[in-house]
Structure 1
C-alpha cells in the first residue's frame, strides 16, 4: 500500500477540516435493525443535486491526493489506481471525461456502485453522490450490472477489448463459492483489496438510506427482499469481511465530509462509525478467535521473493484471510483463504523470518503461527545491469525514428506497467508526451523491446510496438525512461537544445551496462542515419567476476541441515572459515558435485570463500 504523502495530507487537512457535525448521531441509540432505522431517519431526505452536478463534484473532490504525489490533479479511480506502483494511466478532470471509449484508459465516467438497473434509474438513488464514483469507462462497462463478490481465479470471464484482470487487478468471473463467499456461484466483479472496504461501506449506506424502498429490488442478487437485513446472506458475509479487512481510509473520511458540507448534506454513517456495521448486522457477535495456522514453511527464495505455505486455520464461523508478519512486523493481509502466498519486494542475500495470524469474518485474529525463516538469493544479473536502459536510437530520414530498450537484469520483466517513456522538446526542461507499454508487454532477459514510429520503414521485422507520439523526436529532443515515474535513463539533455542526435543512429557501447540519468554521447557508438543492422538485439561486455559471482546461488541459508547447495557457472574451490578466521572446511564444487558438506560444523556464523580460476568472493553462512 502506498504511503500518504505528508505534505499533501497537511494541505488536505486545511481544505477539509470539518468533521462529524455535533449531535448528528444523537438519536442513533439502538442496536440491530432498530439502529439501522434510526440511521435511515438521520440520513434520509438528502439535498439531491441531480446527476449532471456530479461532474463538478468529481472534478473538485475526487482527486488523487493520497497515493502519488505527482497525480494530485488527476482523478482517483478505484478501477485504475495501483496502490503499490505507478498507475497504469491517469485521467485529467473534465478533459478526460467520457465521451466515447473502446479501451481501458480512454476516459472516465460515473459508476453506480449499486447498478442503476436495480432501481430503474429512479432518483434520488440515480444521483446520490455516496454511490457514484468516477471510474474508467471501459472497466465500468466491463463490470456492467454484476454483483460485487470474490472472484474464482480459475473461472474468469473473457471479453473483447479489455484484459481480465484489468490493469490494476480488478476482476470479473464466477464467485468463489466457498469460505466467507460460499452460497453464490454466478458472475461477480471484484475490486482490488485497497478499495474493498470502501465498496462495502457504500452498500451498507445504500441499504440504510433506502431502507423504505430496498425490499422492492429483490431481483438483484445481492438483496434479499427485506427492509431490515436487506442484503443476501452470501453477500452480507462478503461485505462484512471486506469492511473488517479494509478499515476506513482518509480518502473515505474526506469524501464523506465533502458530500455533507459541500454537496448533498447527508453522511455515510459507516464511514463515521465503522462499528455500526457489526452492531446492526451481527446481532450475535462472534468473539471466538480462529485457531492459529500451522506448519508454516518458507521456501523457493529468489533475489526478491520467498514463497510461503501453511496448513489452514479453523474458525467457528469462517476464516477470511491471513495477516503476514515479517520479522514480527505486520506486512500485508492475503485478502483470501488461500494457504499459499508469495512475499515480494525483498532484498537479496537477506534472512527473513515469517509468522502468520488467521483473521475471521468479523475481524477476530488468531495467535501467531510457528516461525519460518529463509534467505533470499544473490544470483545478481547476467551483465550486472540493475534495470532496463536505452540501447539504440534511430533518428533517420522521414518517419524512420526508433527507440530500443534492453533488459540485462537477469530475469524476464513480465510487467512493464511501472515503466514509461517521456519526451521533452527542444531542451525546454519539461517532460511532455508520455508513452506507456501495451498491456501484457514483456522483455526477456538479454532481449530488447523496439518502439518505432508508425511511418517507419527500416528493419520493420524488429518492431514490438508502433507509437507516433513518443517517436516524434528530432535531433535535439530528450527521451527519458521512467520507473514508477522516476527517471532512470535518458537520451539527450532535457535542458539543452543543441542537436546531439540529428540524422544519426546511436548504439550504446557494450561496456556501459547501467541506466544513467545523465546523457554522455561518448557512451554511444554513432552510425549513419537509417542504419539498423544492430536493431533487435544488444551486447554487453561481461567481466569474469560479473559472470561468475553474480550468478552464484548458495542455499538454504541459514540452514539447520548438513549440506548447502552451491550453484555456479564455473568450478569453485570453497573454503569455510569460522568467526575467528580459522579455516574449518575446504571442498571443490562442480556442476555434478554441488553439495557443500557442513555436517562437522557446529552452530554459528561462518564465512564461505568462493574461488574461481580468476576471482574470489566471500559470502556469510549461518548454521542453526
Structure 2
C-alpha cells in the first residue's frame, strides 16, 4: 500500500471519530462537592457525622435550631460586621451586585443598601418578626434597587443583566445571582430548609423544582441550587461570615458552609 492512501485512511478515521464523539459525548455536569472535615465535627456536628438522607437532615435541624435570635432592627449593625469588605473596613459587600458600599448608607433610599431576604419573605409568610425573617444566615446587604429587582423570585438561570447587577441576571419569574455567590445563595436557601421544619409556629420551608412559587413555603429550583453548590464552593468570605454569626450573634452555624457535600447527602 502506498503512503498516500494510508494518510487518507487515517484522516477519514480521525474525522469519523470526531463526529462520533460530538454525537455521543454526555453533557458535562459539576463534580459533587468534596468531603471536608472541620474542627466542629467531634463537637458541634458529632450527632450528624456519618449520617445521610432524612437522618442527616433531622440531626442537623436539631443541632442548628439551638440559636440566639435577633430582631429585625438588630440586623443593621450585625450586617456591618458579617459582610464587612475585607479590603475596606468602612464598607460592606453587597451580595448580588458585588459592590462595596459605605456601612453608613443603610436605609431605603436610592443609593442605599438594605436587608435582602435570600429566602424571600413572601415564600411562607416569614414576616420581619423575630424568627426566620430575621435569621442572619440568609439576610444580606444589597442595593435597594437590586433588592427590588430580585423581589421574591425563585432562583434559576437565564435572563438579562440590569443596573448594578454585577453580572446577576433576571427574567419574568426567576433570578440568577452572579457566579461568585451562586454557591452562597444555594447554601443559604438549604440552611433555611433544614432549620425551619414547621416548628416554632413557623412554616416548613423546602426547596422544590419549579419557579413561580408565590406565597407557598417553597423556593426553586433545587437541581440548580445543588449544581451551584458544587460549582461555587465556600470561599474565605463565606466561611468568615459563618464563623462570625456563630461566635458573635446567633451561635449556630450553616452546616453547608462547613460541609457542602451534605447537600447531595440530603437531596
TM-score (norm 1): 0.33
* 1:150 and 2:169 matched: no
1:172 match: 170
Structure 1 residue aligned with 2:223: 237
User: Aligned equivalents of 2:116 and 2:145: distance in 1?
Assistant: 11
State the alpha-carbon separation in 2 of the partners of residues 24 and 73 from structure 1: 33
Question: Following superposition of structure 1 onto structure 2, how do residues 555-574 of structure 1 map, counting pairs within 5 Å?
Answer: none
Specify the SS of the correspondent of 1:75: strand
Cα deviation, residue 21, structure 1: 7.6
Quick one: distance in 1 between partners of 2:266 and 2:206? 20
Unaligned runs of 5+ residues in structure 2 are: 1-37
Q: Deviations over 1:82-136 (max 9, x none)?
A: xxxxx5xx3111x2111322xxxx0100000011112321541011000100111
- SS of the equivalent of 2:90 reads coil
The equivalent of 1:25 in structure 2 is 45
C-alpha contact (below 8 Å) 1:118/1:220 kept by paired residues = no
Q: 2:224, 2:205 → 1: CA distance?
A: 22
Q: In the alignment, which residue of structure 1 is the partner of 2:101?
A: 91
- Shift in Å, 1:74: 1.2
CA RMSD in angstroms, aligned pairs only = 2.7
CA distance in 2, matches of 1:216, 1:210: 6
Residues 19, 136 of structure 1: alpha-carbon distance in 2 compared, 3 angstrom cutoff: farther
Deviation at 1:50, TM superposition (A): 1.1
Alpha-carbon distance between aligned partners in 2 of 1:112 and 1:24, rounded to the nearest angstrom: 26
* Counterparts of 1:126 and 1:257, CA distance in 2: 20
CA distance in 2, matches of 1:275, 1:249: 15
- 1:189-588 to structure 2, matched below 5 A, reads 189-212=175-198, 214-215=203-204, 235-281=221-267
Query: What secondary structure does 2:85 align onto?
Result: coil
| Residues 139/45 of structure 1: CA separation in 2 closer, same or farther (3 Å cut) | same
Where in structure 1 are there 5+ consecutive unaligned residues?
1-17, 82-86, 157-162, 175-186, 225-229, 282-624
User: 1:242 Cα deviation (Å)?
Assistant: 0.3
Between the two proteins, the alignment pairs up a number of residues equal to: 221
Give the match for residue 140 of structure 1.
147
Other structure's SS at 2:116 match: strand
Q: Tell me if the contact between 1:170 and 1:190 (Cα under 8 Å) persists in the aligned partners.
A: yes
Contact 1:61 1:258 in 2 (8 A): yes
Contact 1:200–1:239 (CA<8 Å) still a contact in 2?
yes
Rate the CA distance shift 1:269–1:219 in 2: closer, same or farther, 3 A: closer
Which residue of structure 1 aligns with residue 58 of structure 2?
Answer: 37
The alpha-carbon deviation at position 208 of structure 1 amounts to 0.2
Give the deviation of 1:60 after TM superposition. 2.2
Which residue is equivalent to 1:75? 92
Regions of 4+ moved over 3 Å:
18-22, 213-224
Change (3 A) 1:189 1:222: same
Q: Distance in 2 between matches of 1:32 and 1:261?
A: 28
* Conserved? CA contact 1:119–1:217, under 8 Å: no
- Secondary structure at the aligned position of 1:114 is classed as coil
User: Which structure's residues are more often strand, by fraction?
Assistant: 1
Distance 2:39 2:140 in 1: 21
Q: Kindly indicate whether the alpha-carbon contact (under 8 Å) linking 1:114 and 1:131 is maintained by their aligned counterparts in 2.
A: yes
Q: Which has the larger radius of gyration?
A: 1
Cα deviation for residue 164 of structure 1 reads: 2.0
Q: 2:122 touches 2:152 (CA, 8 Å); kept in 1? A: yes
- Relative contact order, CA 8 A, sep 6+: which one is greater? 2
Q: How far 1:235 sits from its partner (Å)?
A: 1.0
Aligned to 2:71: 50
- Over 3 Å counting, the alpha-carbon distance change for 1:195 and 1:25 in structure 2 is same
TM value normalised by structure 2: 0.75
- The verdict on how the C-alpha distance between 1:204 and 1:80 changes in structure 2, with shifts beyond 3 A counting, is same
Deviation string 1:261-301 (CA, Å, 9 cap, x unpaired) is 100111100011111111111xxxxxxxxxxxxxxxxxxxx
SS of 1:278's partner is helix
* Residue pair 2:84, 2:92 contacting (<8 A) in 1 also: yes
Structure 2 counterpart SS, 1:34: helix
| C-alpha distance in 2 between matches for 1:78 and 1:216 | 22
